[in-house]
């Protein structure tokens, strides 16, 4: 049997309050690049399921840029390291790793020959560094700033020039190669958030927290003037980008607007404003201008593809998780089974043939902990505010309080059980509560129930699993105890017919019990190296890997290694041959499973 990656739904960028989020683009403009946790995302703008993830950094990635040649990507992280890796093939082979700075990298840029990379950010001895990608050797000294540097841009043609913008409020101009300090430009009255060079090298611009936008000569660094009379935006300008013909400039701001400017006249041409109601979430914090469109990023993680013509038209709105996923659920429907994911960003996402949808669109929940598919295409979600809500279509129900923080949830056709630190809350068929004391359990860590809800299993911190008969009303009766476990129980699932119970432990081991005889049937599955987060029949258990096991042939299994950076937190069967997984990287991946030959 085999497990093959079919497609990837990428996560959205990680944003930091009051900081610019750097977006990159491929030379052809068919892909954009950004960071999400330890992952670099190469997102395909025509078909997001063909996106590529690179997860070889050991620290959170902060910026990624593709070389003008299209053969390599340079990505920097929070530790100050830069990795240069091959993107032309499928292996993503590392070419060079450089410890460029002593702290977080804020921005980096390639020169026009795809031979050199300039890096800026935080550091102990310096805030900027330039090196050759073949040797890693320095190609100049980018000195002069007294505070962390937020942005860097390079003239693509010889003679090369470079500019940097810093928290010290200055823009520094360098000649090269090798790069040397030439002059200081003190045009801004606040932090300089972004700088950009025109593709033709004639001009460059700087944008700052003062909302002002300045234009400079590309070869001398002389100030040519300011865009607009007064501030160009009513808030911090986080990002700027030139059009391919260098005639226009786009700017993205905390005022929720993207503006397009005529460079020669420094005059406003068009404006688009986010329709998100929350002023913080509507802030536009990242921007890239591809050969075809402008792509703008809001603080809420929404990527908006814009087409500037006589007015700015919205081509598409791209939705996706901007943080790790906590759980997955398969949602049966009349047409085809959909996938739902719950994310740490407080949203529920639906994945289908038409793309990704966020429900509800703007309202956030305070930390989603668990989710399960409910009746009539609904979803039941448990959150950190000790409450359970139902998502039906695009509507969110009022919260139903629980007796403590939810640890697990099981939803059936006619029942809903919620495991809390206090016991089991029954929300359907009628409200009730069974304390851990009444169940004679000291610390329940996981719960599972049969499809009809008549049998419930409780896993414990010490390892034993307790079985209970759960009538529609009245007390639950203990049916027995399964003693094969040696570690805290972290995930459980009954087989569809209720005859078997799969138990995942915190040490990565999976056990399978015969429910009727209460005996251990399988104990061979010990390949996981970390806590089991999810089990779904047919079986899966997750560290960063996805495993599929055969119950009839216990020694047969197949795996997809390193499916999700920092851990895979859930996997479900969508049909007999399709598995979907989600993890800490915020990505959702579909796999095709080929069963073993008879």
Give residue-wise pLDDT tens across range 256-265.
999 999 999 9
Q: Please report, rounded to a whole number, the percentage of residues in the chain having pLDDT higher than 70.
A: 94
In a domain, 420, yes or no: yes
Query: Is residue 125 included in any domain, yes or no?
Result: no
Give the pLDDT band of residue 484 (cuts 50, 70, 90). confident
- Is-contact 77 63, C-beta < 8 A? no
Domain contains 470: yes
Question: Tell me, what's the pLDDT at 543?
Answer: 42
Instruction: Report d(CA 106, CA 120) in Å as an integer.
Output: 6
Q: Tell me the average pLDDT across 394-418.
A: 90
* Domain annotation covers residue 405: yes
Strands 81-86, 510-514: parallel, antiparallel or unpaired by DSSP?
A: unpaired
According to DSSP, the residues that pair with 72 across neighbouring strands are 86
Closest CA to 356 of 386, 393, 318, 390: 318
Dist. CA 165–CA 196, nearest whole Å: 10
Q: How far apart, in whole angstroms, are the C-alpha atoms of residue 329 and residue 291?
A: 38
- The answer to whether residue 506 is domain-embedded is yes
In sequence order, what E strands does 384-464 have? 387-392, 395-396, 400-401, 406-411, 416-420, 423-428, 432-435, 444-449, 455-460
Residue bearing tokens 């937020």: 150
Per-residue model confidence (pLDDT) at position 527: 55
Q: For residue range 507-528, list pLDDT tens digits in order.
A: 778 899 999 999 998 877 655 5
Q: Pick from 85-94, 154-163, 374-383 the range whose average pLDDT is largest.
A: 154-163
pLDDT grade, residue 555 (50/70/90)?
low
Work out the pLDDT band at 552, boundaries 50, 70, 90: low
CA distance 128 to 119: 5
Q: At a CB cut-off of 8 Å and minimum separation 6, what does 322 contact?
A: 11, 12, 13, 14, 15, 36, 300, 301, 343, 345, 586
pLDDT digits (tens, 9 = 90+) for 579-596: 899 988 999 999 998 876
The pLDDT of residue 541 is 41
Task: Tell which wins on pLDDT, 598 or 384.
Answer: 384
pLDDT given at position 102 = 94
Q: Which pLDDT score is estimated for 540? A: 45
pLDDT at residue 556 tops 80: no
In a domain, 474, yes or no: yes
> Please, which pLDDT band fits residue 557 given cuts at 50, 70 and 90?
low
Tens of pLDDT, residue by residue over 66-84, are 999 999 999 999 999 999 9
Q: Which domain holds residue 334?
A: 325-535
Sign of the dihedral defined by the CA atoms of residues 14, 20, 26, 28, in that order: positive
The predicted model gives 420-439 an average pLDDT of 92
What is the spatial distance between Cα 84 and Cα 420, in angstroms, rounded to a whole number?
Answer: 47
Note whether residue 473 is domain-resident: yes
Q: Token digits for 364?
A: 């956030």
pLDDT at res. 576: 81
In DSSP terms, 492 is beta-bridged to: 503
What is the reported pLDDT for 442? 85
**pLDDT above 90 for 423:** yes
Distances (CA, A) of 443 to 422, 446, 476: 9, 10, 17
| pLDDT, mean of residues 198-202 | 97
Q: What pLDDT score does 563 carry?
A: 79
Beta bridge partners of 180: 175
pLDDT band at 544 (very low <50, low <70, confident <90, very high): very low
pLDDT of residue 542: 39
Long-range own/partner contacts, residues 332-335 (CB < 8 A, 24 or more apart): 332/373, 332/377, 333/377
Q: What is the pLDDT of residues 136-167, one digit of tens each?
A: 999 999 999 999 999 999 999 999 999 999 99
Distance CA 121, CA 81 (A): 11
User: Residue 343 is part of a domain; what is its CATH number?
Assistant: 2.130.10.10
pLDDT mean across residues, the chain? 90
Would you say 456 and 439 are in contact if contact means Cβ atoms under 8 Å apart?
no
> 465 lies in a domain?
yes
Mean pLDDT of all residues in 455-469: 94
Number of domains in the chain: 1
pLDDT at residue 132 in the model: 97
d(CA 243, CA 307): 12
Are 472 and 466 a contacting pair, CB within 8 Å? no
Q: Of the candidates 350, 377, 348, which has an alpha carbon nearest to the alpha carbon of residue 363?
A: 348
In this model, does residue 195 exceed pLDDT 80?
yes
Which range among 144-158, 216-230, 314-328, 549-563 shows the weakest confidence by mean pLDDT? Answer: 549-563
Q: How confident is the model at residue 334 (pLDDT cuts 50, 70, 90)?
A: low
Secondary structure letter of residue 210 according to DSSP: T
């Amino acid at each position: 049997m085999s497990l093959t990656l079919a497609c990837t739904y990428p996560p959205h960028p990680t944003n930091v309050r009051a900081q610019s989020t750097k977006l990159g683009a491929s030379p052809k403009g068919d892909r954009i690049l950004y960071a999400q946790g330890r992952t670099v995302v190469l997102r395909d703008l025509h078909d997001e399921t063909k996106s590529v993830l690179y997860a070889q950094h050991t620290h959170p990635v902060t910026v990624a840029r593709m070389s003008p040649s299209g053969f390599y990507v340079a990505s920097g992280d929070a530790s100050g390291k830069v990795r240069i890796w091959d993107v032309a093939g499928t292996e993503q082979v590392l070419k060079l790793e450089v410890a460029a700075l002593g702290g977080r990298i804020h921005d980096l840029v390639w020169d026009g020959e795809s031979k050199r990379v300039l890096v800026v950010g935080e550091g102990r001895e310096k805030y900027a560094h330039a090196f050759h990608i073949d040797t890693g050797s320095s190609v100049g000294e980018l000195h002069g700033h007294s505070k962390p540097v937020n942005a860097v841009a390079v003239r693509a043609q010889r003679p090369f020039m470079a500019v940097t913008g810093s928290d010290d409020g200055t823009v520094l101009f360098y000649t090269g190669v090798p790069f040397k300090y030439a002059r200081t430009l003190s045009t801004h009255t606040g932090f300089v958030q972004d700088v950009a060079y025109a593709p033709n090298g004639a001009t460059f611009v700087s944008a700052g927290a003062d909302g002002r936008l300045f234009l400079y000569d590309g070869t001398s660094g002389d100030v040519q003037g300011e865009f607009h009379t007064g501030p160009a935006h009513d808030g911090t300008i986080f990002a700027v980008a030139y059009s391919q013909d260098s005639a226009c400039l786009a700017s993205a701001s905390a005022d929720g607007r993207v503006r397009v400017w005529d460079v020669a006249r420094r005059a406003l041409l068009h404006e688009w404003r986010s329709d998100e109601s929350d002023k913080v979430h509507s802030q536009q914090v990242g921007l890239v201008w591809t050969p075809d469109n402008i792509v703008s990023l809001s603080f809420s993680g929404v990527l908006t593809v814009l087409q500037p013509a006589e007015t700015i038209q919205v081509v598409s709105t791209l939705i996706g998780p901007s943080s790790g996923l906590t759980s997955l659920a398969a949602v049966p429907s009349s047409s085809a089974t959909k996938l739902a994911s719950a994310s740490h960003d407080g949203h529920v996402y639906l994945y289908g043939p038409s793309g990704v949808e966020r429900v509800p669109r703007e309202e956030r929940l305070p930390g989603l902990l668990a989710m399960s598919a409910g009746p009539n295409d609904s979803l039941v979600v448990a959150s950190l505010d000790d409450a359970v809500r139902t998502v039906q279509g695009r509507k969110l129900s009022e919260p139903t309080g629980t007796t403590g923080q939810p640890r697990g949830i099981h939803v059936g056709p006619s029942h809903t059980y919620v495991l809390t630190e206090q016991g089991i809350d029954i929300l359907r068929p009628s409200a009730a509560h069974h304390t851990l004391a009444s169940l004679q359990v000291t610390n329940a860590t996981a719960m599972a129930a049969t499809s009809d809800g008549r049998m419930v299993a409780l896993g414990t911190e010490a390892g034993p699993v307790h079985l209970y008969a759960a009538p529609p009303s009245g007390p639950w009766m203990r049916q027995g105890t399964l003693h094969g476990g040696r570690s805290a129980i972290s995930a459980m699932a009954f087989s569809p017919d209720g005859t078997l119970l799969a138990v995942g432990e915190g040490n990565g081991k999976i056990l399978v019990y015969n429910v009727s005889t209460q005996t251990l049937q399988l104990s061979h599955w010990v390949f996981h190296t970390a806590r089991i987060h999810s089990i779904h029949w047919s079986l899966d258990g997750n560290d960063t890997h996805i495993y599929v096991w055969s119950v009839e042939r216990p020694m047969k299994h197949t795996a997809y290694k390193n499916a999700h950076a920092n851990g895979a937190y859930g996997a479900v069967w969508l049909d007999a041959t399709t598995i979907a997984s989600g993890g800490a990287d915020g990505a959702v991946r579909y796999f095709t499973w080929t069963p073993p030959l008879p």
